[in-house]
């Protein structure tokens, strides 16, 4: 089995596709520290035209994502902060939701951050 | 094309296949992206370039747009709103080309996703089709449904994630009666065109889609009301 993710130019991306092969349902708890045997993998900082984006994922013993933490986000100006405050929590929710759904890929989900996706992928690649 | 492509390949590929796909997608992007001011399609749209002087890929993309306009009675129009934007066929076309390269590379079990347009081969395992989620137009990150699909394309056109960005060619105004249309069919290209046309058709979407009995579909109205083809329920999982 081989999975390849290609980032092409952009303003957006599909976190869905990055995560969709994790078909194990999410545990009911989302408190990372509460999960026995959990570990945290830190993604590389992805450089975007607005600034670096970096995330870390917390995995349980079965390698299911239980939490996505945003470590760095663009903060060059007020607008960056506004966008970050709005978009990143939605992306976090999206990563977890799509994993918890029992699907391989998602149609119609297009608008997610490139930097978020590539940092998340680099974290997941360490599994 | 302003988006990300992903390939999920579950069998062996000939060496160099992925590189060929990447190269092809970058070529199409350089020619056809409306996000790049220097792409041929952007220059064509600004009148700086004649169609006759464009690369064959650009002329073919525009020919596909014309065919799509004819097939949908003008509901699909790459010049809706007065600006040339062939993205409605280019994304699905690019995904299908990527999938064709995977097939040539020896793969039968794969899925290709280009910005939410999905084309799949045989399922990831014998007897197990691909499970394709449909994004919930009202809540980003949530799924409205999931369907079983093999050797087919799944396209969703919607207003939720990118706002009311699909324009009615007749009026130039954004369409709002439907918030989402998902179409499953043998060709992703046609499924994508039909999804966009359904969104434009609004209350007439069901009649439009009923004329394509080899397709399954789900449309969601602004009020949240869902309608689907008879075959849709058989696919849901």
- Residues linked to residue B212 through DSSP beta bridges, in sequence order: none
B92 touches chain A (CB under 8 A): no
What is the pLDDT at residue B198? Answer: 96
Q: Do B155 and B170 touch, CB atoms closer than 8 A?
A: no
CB contact under 8 Å between B146 and A103, yes or no, is: yes
What is the pLDDT at residue A105? Answer: 77
Per-residue model confidence as pLDDT tens digits over B80-93: 878 899 988 999 99
- pLDDT of A85 strictly over 70: no
- Show the domains of chain B with their CATH numbers: 5-235 (3.10.520.10)
Share of chain A above pLDDT 90, in %: 0
Share of chain B above pLDDT 90, in %: 75
What is the pLDDT at residue B185? Answer: 98
Higher pLDDT, A125 or A108: A108
Identify which of B22, B131, B141 has the shortest CB distance to residue A104: B131
Q: Do A72 and A54 touch, CB atoms closer than 8 A?
A: yes
Q: Which residues contact B180 (CB under 8 A, 6 or more apart)?
A: A108, B134, B135, B137, B144, B156, B157, B158, B159, B160, B199, B218, B219, B220
Question: Where exactly are the structural domains of chain A?
Answer: 25-124
CATH topology of domain A25-124: Sufe protein. Chain: A (3.90.1010)
Share of chain B above pLDDT 70, in %: 96
Cα separation, A48 vs A30, whole angstroms: 29
Q: Please, what is the average pLDDT of chain B? A: 92
To the nearest whole angstrom, how far is the Cα of A43 from the nearest Cα of chain B? 19
Lowest mean pLDDT among B20-34, B52-66, B137-151: B137-151
CB contact under 8 Å between A105 and B111, yes or no, is: yes
A63 touches chain B (CB under 8 A): no
CB contact under 8 Å between A107 and B26, yes or no, is: no
Identify which of B33, B142, B182 has the shortest CB distance to residue A107: B182
State whether ipTM is beyond 0.90: no
Token readout for B18 is 């992925």
- pLDDT of B17 strictly over 70: yes
A49 touches chain B (CB under 8 A): no
- Most B CBs within 10 Å, among A3, A7, A8, A87, to test the B interface: A8
Per-residue model confidence as pLDDT tens digits over A30-42: 333 444 678 888 8
Chain B residues inside the 8 Å CB shell of A7: 4
A104 touches chain B (CB under 8 A): yes
Judged on CB neighbours under 10 Å (0-12, 13-18, 19+), A46 is buried
């Amino acid at each position: 089995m081989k999975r390849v993710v290609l980032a092409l130019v952009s303003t957006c991306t599909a976190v869905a596709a990055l995560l969709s092969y994790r078909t194990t349902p999410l545990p009911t708890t989302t408190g990372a520290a509460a999960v026995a045997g959990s570990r945290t993998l830190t993604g590389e900082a992805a450089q975007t035209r607005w600034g670096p984006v970096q995330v870390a994922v917390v995995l349980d013993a079965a390698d299911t994502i239980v939490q996505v933490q945003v470590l760095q986000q663009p903060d060059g100006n007020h607008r960056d902060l506004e966008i970050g405050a709005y978009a990143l929590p939605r992306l976090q929710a999206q990563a977890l939701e799509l994993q918890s759904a029992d699907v391989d890929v998602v149609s119609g989900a297009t608008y997610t951050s490139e930097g978020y996706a590539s940092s998340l992928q680099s974290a997941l690649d360490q599994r | 094309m302003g988006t990300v492509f992903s390939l999920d390949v579950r069998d062996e590929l000939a060496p160099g296949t992925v590189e060929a796909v990447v190269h092809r997608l970058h070529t199409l992007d350089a020619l056809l992206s409306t996000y790049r001011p220097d792409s041929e399609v952007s220059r064509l749209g600004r009148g700086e370039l004649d169609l006759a002087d464009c690369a064959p890929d650009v002329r073919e993309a525009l020919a596909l747009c014309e065919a799509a306009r004819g097939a949908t009675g003008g509901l699909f129009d790459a010049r809706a709103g007065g600006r040339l934007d062939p993205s409605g066929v280019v994304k699905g076309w690019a995904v299908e080309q990527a999938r064709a390269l995977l097939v040539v590379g020896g793969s039968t079990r794969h899925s290709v996703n280009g910005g939410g347009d999905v084309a799949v081969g045989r399922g990831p395992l014998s007897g197990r089709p691909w499970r394709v989620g449909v994004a919930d137009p009202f809540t980003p990150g949530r799924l409205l449904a999931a369907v079983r699909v093999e050797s087919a394309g799944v396209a969703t056109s919607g207003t939720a994630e990118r706002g009311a960005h699909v324009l009615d060619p007749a009026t130039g105004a954004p369409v709002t009666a439907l918030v989402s249309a998902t179409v499953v069919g043998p060709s992703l290209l046609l499924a994508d065109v039909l999804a966009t046309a359904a969104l434009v058709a609004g209350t007439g979407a069901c009649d439009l889609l009923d004329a394509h009995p080899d397709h399954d579909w789900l449309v969601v109205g602004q009020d949240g009301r869902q309608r689907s083809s008879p075959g849709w329920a058989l696919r849901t999982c």
